[in-house]
Every structure is written in C-alpha cells, then in structure tokens.
Structure 1
Amino acid sequence: MNPFARMLTATKTVGAIILTIGIATFLYGMIVNDYVFISGIGVGAVMGAVFIFIISMFLIAAEEMLTKSKK
C-alpha cells in the first residue's frame, strides 16, 4: 500500500473516532444533562477532529507534491 494512502487511512480513522466522541459528548451535554460545560467539551472535540483532518490532509498533499517534484 502507498505510504500516503496509509497516512490518509490513519488520519480518517483518528478523525472519525474523535468526531464520534465529540458528537456523543455534545449530545450528552445538551439532551441528557443540560450541562453547558460538557457541551463545550463536545464542541471542542468536534472542532479538534476537523482541525486534525484538515491539517493532516494539507501535510499529506504537500509531502506528495514534494516527492513528485523531486522525480
């Protein structure tokens, strides 16, 4: 398997796990407990998952472009 594809798969997996945890935490805080503090943690986790995914996609694309430009 291509190393870029392996990094992309790892990034998608980590992003999906953190996104799921963030959504579950947000829904738990809003619906079940009505605690704003727990909802804030959920929103932060969702934003973190999106940030991790976008930055890693940029780094993977930049590394692939650098590798192809050397050839």
Structure 2
Amino acid sequence: MKKRRKMIRAVKYTGAIVLTIGILIFLYGFFISDRSYITGIGIGTVMGAGFLFIMGIFFAATEESLKERLSRWRNKFRRKNK
C-alpha cells in the first residue's frame, strides 16, 4: 500500500511540474515570442504531462489488480493442498 501511494504521489508531482512548465512555454510562445515552434513545444509538453500522469495511474492500478489476483490464486492453491 505504501509503495503504491509513493508511486501515485511521485506521478502526481512530476505531472504537475511538467504541466506547469508546458503551460509556461506555451504562453511564452503564444504571447511573447515571434517564433511559432515554441508554442508547439509547449503544447507537446502539456500533452506529455497528461500522458505521464495517465500512465502512472494505469501502472498503479495494474499493480493492485495483479496483487489481488496473485493472492486469490495462492489462497486457492493452498486450500487444494490441505
């Protein structure tokens, strides 16, 4: 349980930091800079932050599902051997 909480917390903070950086890059490219590629980099960074967050949550949920399945399988196997 602690391991999953640490992972979710790390994903949350990493995603928030990357999202903030992406928004700042996007705003700089859209309003201040005269180069359009900076805006694209900002959009890509924001999308990357969303991808990181979704994949981290997916990995945490998958880990929990596999732990439950493994514990059920072990209990079933132990009952058969007794």
In which range does the TM-score fall when normalised by the shorter chain? Answer: over 0.9
Q: State the number of aligned residues.
A: 71
Aligned to 1:24: 24
Q: Which has the larger radius of gyration?
A: 2
* Paired-residue identity, %: 48
Moved over 3 A (4+): none
CA–CA separation in structure 1 for the residues paired with 2:20 and 2:34: 19
Indicate whether 1:40 and 2:40 are aligned.
yes
Q: CA RMSD in A?
A: 1.1
Letter in 2 for 1:52: L
Match of 2:69 in 1: 69
User: Normalized against structure 1, the TM-score is what?
Assistant: 0.93
TM-score, length basis structure 2:
0.82
Partner of 2:9: 9
Gaps of 5+ in 1: none
Match of 1:59 in 2: 59
The match for 2:75 is: none
Q: Distance in 1 between matches of 2:14 and 2:39?
A: 21
Q: Determine the C-alpha separation between the residues in 1 that align with 2:10 and 2:55.
A: 13
- 1:10 corresponds to which letter in structure 2? A
Q: Which amino acid aligns with 1:37?
A: Y
C-alpha displacement of 1:56? 1.2
Pairwise CA distance, 1:35: 2.1
Gaps of 5+ in 2: 72-82
Larger RCO: 1 or 2 (CA < 8 Å, sep 6+): 1
